[in-house]
Structure 1
Amino acid sequence: MPSFLTPQIAPILLLCISNVFMTFAWYGHLKFTSKPLWIVIIASWGIAFVEYCFAIPANRIGHTVYSAAELKTMQEIITLLVFCVFSITYLGEAIRWNHLVGFALIAAAGFFVFHKW
């Protein structure tokens, strides 16, 4: 493993990759509404398998330096960032100010999770 992939950094990078796959698994089919539901479910399962190949190592490596709650918070914030890019670029849907405020409040929760009280 490259030296820059420390246990602090590797989970962040792996979670970013896993979230790209999971976002496509969950929302990518919205562009293929004419396809039968069973086909998009099977395709989504295949994409989700690849996502797990990144998420599981991210959590295993990350848990050596982060708590499970911190990893989950990290994952949720990364998910929102990936989703914003996906929504705009792939689905062509705008992210409005109220979405950003809601997402920012979720991201602000990270402060409380990561702060050592």
Structure 2
Amino acid sequence: MAWLPITLPVPVVTIGLLVASNVFMTFAWYGHLKFKAAPLVTVILASWGIALFEYLLQVPANRIGHGHFSAAELKTIQEVITLVVFAAFSVTYLKESLGWNHAVGFALIGLGAFFIFHRWN
């Protein structure tokens, strides 16, 4: 991590990069839904362009985080971040509401994350 001007803990760097990468990926996957009149090939190319930035953040996040976190833990962190970013994106950008059923589903996924991170003896 010589490219960082200060030394930050691995979890902070990893999670920060995963959050930033997920913002890009959410826009790549769902941002085009507000532009339904745009040709499909255009939105595919735009999505690929946006996804490039996601990969520029995601790959270093996983490389930096692996060792401190297991691969399963990294994936779980990513999925929890995905839900949080998507929920915020859905409500603020797409103007879609989330209901109780979404909250229950997200809570169950959170429970799954608990089982991944809990150290069983």
Q: What TM-score, normalized by structure 2, do the two folds share?
A: 0.93
Cα distance in 2, alignment partners of residues 22 and 64 from structure 1 = 24
Once the two structures are superposed, the pairs formed by residues 51-90 of structure 1 within 5 Å of their partners are 51-90=54-93
- % identical equivalent positions: 62
CA RMSD between the two structures: 0.7
Query: How many matched pairs?
Result: 116
Once the two structures are superposed, the pairs formed by residues 30-69 of structure 1 within 5 Å of their partners are 30-69=33-72
Q: Which runs of 5+ in 2 are unaligned?
A: none
Cα distance in 2, alignment partners of residues 10 and 47 from structure 1 = 21
Given candidates 3, 17, 20, the residue that maps to 1:17 is 20
Cα distance in 2, alignment partners of residues 8 and 27 from structure 1 = 28
Matched, 1:29 2:32: yes
Cα distance in 2, alignment partners of residues 9 and 67 from structure 1 = 16
In 2, are the aligned partners of 1:7 and 1:64 still within 8 Å (CA)? no
Per-residue deviation at 1:114? 0.7
Per-residue deviation at 1:64? 2.3
Could you report, residue by residue, the CA deviation over 1:69-98 in whole angstroms, capped at 9, with x for unpaired residues? 000000000000000110010000001110
In 2, are the aligned partners of 1:7 and 1:61 still within 8 Å (CA)? yes
Secondary structure of the 1:59 match is helix
Cα distance in 1, alignment partners of residues 88 and 67 from structure 2 = 30
Per-residue deviation at 1:30? 0.2
Partner of 2:97: 94
Q: Which runs of 5+ in 1 are unaligned?
A: none
Per-residue deviation at 1:39? 0.5
In 2, are the aligned partners of 1:15 and 1:58 still within 8 Å (CA)? yes
